[in-house]
């Protein structure tokens, strides 16, 4: 197993769940740094997954002392959008990236906590079914978020004060 980039091992959970799958597809919403505490860097670099990373902050506003080099181009299979996650037309973006069979993993970062419920409402789950969902926040702090996710057909597999992990029940 390669080094984890995630803060709480989300990337290794994803890789283990998919039995070291190569060439998967991810969406990472609320990511801040291309590597530090990033849930999808390992997927991209070592397992050749393709995906969309949505940064919630203007890249120029980052404190370089805290975040260091933000060289997103070193992520070989990732596409990046820096905008408010709820402003993005995910259906068109995912189609343009060649996402045809759904999303293997959707990662929602803690920077999205205030808008997480709205994001769940606008993401096209029917068009792009998601197999795994990892949320980097205490979902009990976000009213009704856990109910919305369960109503979409997901089962909670692990929850701590800092992260929640769900998988989609197979039909």
Three-class SS string for 108-144?
A: ECHHHHHHHHHHHHHCCCCCCCEEEEEECCCHHHCCC
Mean pLDDT of the chain: 83
| Beta carbons of 5 and 37 less than 8 angstroms apart | yes
Q: How far apart are CA 62 and CA 105, in angstroms?
A: 26
Domains of the chain: 10-168 (3.40.50.150)
**Alpha-carbon span 138 to 157, nearest angstrom:** 14
- For residue 100, give the DSSP letter: -
Residue 72 pLDDT > 70:
no
Residue 153: which of 141, 128, 171 has the closest Cα?
Answer: 171
| Cβ atoms 13, 134 nearer than 8 A | yes
Residue 155 tokens read as 């089962």
- What does pTM read for this prediction? 0.87
Reported as a single tens digit per residue, the pLDDT across 113-130 is: 678 888 999 999 999 999
């Amino acid at each position: 197993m390669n080094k984890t980039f995630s803060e709480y091992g989300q990337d290794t959970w994803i890789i283990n769940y998919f039995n070291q799958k190569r060439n998967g597809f991810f969406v990472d919403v609320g990511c801040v740094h291309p590597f530090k505490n990033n849930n999808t860097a390992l997927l991209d670099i070592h397992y050749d997954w393709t995906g969309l990373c949505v940064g919630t902050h203007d890249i120029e506003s980052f404190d370089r002392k805290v975040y260091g080099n933000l060289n997103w181009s070193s992520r070989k299979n990732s596409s990046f959008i820096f905008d408010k996650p709820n402003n993005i037309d995910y259906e068109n973006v995912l189609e343009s990236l060649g996402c045809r069979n759904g999303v293997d993993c959707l990662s929602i970062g803690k920077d999205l906590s205030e808008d997480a419920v709205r994001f769940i409402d606008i993401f096209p789950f029917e068009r792009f079914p998601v197999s795994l969902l990892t949320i980097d926040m205490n979902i009990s702090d976000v009213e009704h978020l856990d109910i919305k996710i369960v109503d979409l057909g997901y089962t909670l597999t692990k929850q701590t004060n800092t992260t929640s992990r769900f998988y989609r029940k197979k039909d």
